[in-house]
Structure 1
């Protein structure tokens, strides 16, 4: 009996001791601080390769991240050395030049670097003194569209019943400001519209603008019976060449006017072209991604990615005028073919052969292929487009 009792006592004492040690170890383990992973060392998703996206990746003006060619020497593109060409000249100071696109997230709609650019037309009045200045003369109507850039409403001017469009942009979406000739600080979009709003029927007119505590408001002309060219093309599928010639010639007139004013639109696409259904007159709208025109290369993108030229996709730079011709080639293709020429995810290379419908005339096919040349130096200038055989003898509205 004594042996049995002694064994039981020893077993109980041992179990109690080991249990206490285990509990103490668990408490110490829980109290021990855990090492948090460093920010930046966390696992990140693999970046996608930079391909030329198709129409499904319409960013409505969202700017891609800055990608300087000088900062990315490893980009040996498949276009070959001929396509690469020389490195784009940058400003002597190495900073952004005044025409470069806005950086930042999607939705910012002002498109050039900060600071005043060339002086705007002084006929545009400075910002209104009070909110009542806008509320009294206009009657607000239905919502025409909205997005990262803000909202656009139909409205009526009470003094004469004229239809107008009122674009309201949150102040935190206005990335870049400059100065009007009278010294008034104004968003870049106002400065650009001030320079192009007269002298061409093919560009939307800025009637006035107003700076509110939380937003900037632009009052723009609005044809009474109008439709975006994108919706017009959806209804018609594609346009006959004769009809497309007249419309495309109007777009060229608007672009020549903007260029002569020192303005680069940077977002030419059917959604940014209004068609007056009563007169057939086209109007170029939405200069929120625009910039002042410069001779040196842009190293930031603003606009719609599916309309970006291959030199931006491959090298991270582009020149304003050749990039405009590229987007005009895509626009013409959409007019006569009813679709974007490049499918989503295609990586365009030098040996890429553009397939065009056989129903198109040879002159029309040649013009599209010239505008969509892979080498930016091979694309025609605006003046050369005006002399193209396909665009002769056109009656404009």
Structure 2
């Protein structure tokens, strides 16, 4: 039995609250999502008789692997509320972490701090790859940060699926839409992550998003680069957000970029 304490987020894919377990008295994060809001389902029973959100399937994989840089599920249950079936996903609530997007609004990062956080985000994605999970919506809104250690936890697997080579659906924010998806209606696994990392790095060092309107993404209009970052940082960002995905830096080459050596 849980009691709602505070609304954290309300979006197109449900509502998220801080809740209190009335038995153990601990606080958790609960995501309430109706069946009509769920994008993907998967079967988890041997006879394929039981369906649950793919998000839950992926989070159970994470829980089994005990990966602490990805959000941890506690339990999930179903209920009917106002004649609508909904899933309630209960997740761990780590009080040492806060919303990363809000953190960026309140704090100006230098390149040293940005490089530490960037590595931690990279490692979250690497963990997903190891578990054959495709997150599908890599952005600062879907991350938590520990302001003391700069550790990152990746959250919200509502757009996630099991990994494959290519994807023909795009469920993330329109301003982070990949140019190749706009042109060819498909995109690659690693190319998506590299593009997303480039956008996040730009946001960290400039405290703003590189594209202001969807048309800028469609036209691949180059974002403005101010004279406040190092040439190495500039080089990494531009290599991540190349229009041609084949010209982007490879995912497994990113941490070997010279920018990280200048931050030691």
TM-score over 0.5 (shorter chain): yes
Q: Which structure 2 residues correspond to residues 119-268 of structure 1 after superposition, within 5 A?
A: 135=1, 138-180=2-44, 184-197=50-63, 198-213=65-80, 214-236=85-107, 238-268=108-138
1:117-168: CA deviations, max 9, x gaps? Answer: xxxxxxxxxxxxxxxxxx1xx3431111112211111023345543310111
Measured in 1, the distance between the counterparts of 2:46 and 2:88 equals: 19
C-alpha deviation, 1:196, in angstroms:
2.5
Structure 1: unaligned runs, 5 residues or longer: 1-134
**CA shift digits 1:174-232 (9 cap, x unpaired):** 24321225554221110111223344322111111112232101001121143211111
Spell out the pairing of 1:344-383 with structure 2 (5 A cutoff).
Answer: 344=213, 345-346=215-216, 349=219, 353-383=222-252
Matches within 5 A, 1:103-118: none
**Contact 2:116/2:150 (<8 A) preserved:** no
CA contact (8 A) 1:165 1:219 kept: yes
2:222 and 2:151 map into 1 onto residues whose CA distance is: 34
Aligned residues: 256
Structure 1 residue 253: deviation in Å? 0.4
Where is the helix percentage greater, Structure 1 or Structure 2?
A: 2
What's the RMSD between the two structures over aligned residues?
A: 2.2
Decide whether the 8 Å contact of 1:205 with 1:221 is kept in 2.
Answer: yes
| Alignment partners' CA distance in 2, 1:391 and 1:247 | 12
1:282 match: 152
Runs of 4+ in 1 over 6 A off after TM superposition: none
Between the aligned partners of 2:135 and 2:217, the Cα distance in structure 1 is 25
Distance 1:394 1:284, change over 3 A: farther
Listed as ranges, the matches of 1:7-46 within 5 Å are none
Label 1:359 to 1:165 Cα distance change in 2 as closer, same or farther (>3 A).
same
Note the 1:59-70 alignment, pairs <5 A. none
**Cα pair 2:175 2:212 within 8 Å, conserved:** no
In structure 2, relative to structure 1, the CA distance for the partners of 1:370 and 1:179 (3 Å cut) is same
Which of 301, 311, 315 is matched with 2:170 structurally?
Answer: 301
**In the aligned structure 2, how far is the partner of 1:347 from the partner of 1:277?**
31
For residues 258 and 200 of structure 2, the distance between their equivalents in structure 1, rounded to whole angstroms, comes to: 18
Bigger fraction of residues in strand:
2
Runs of 5+ consecutive residues of structure 2 not aligned to the other structure: none
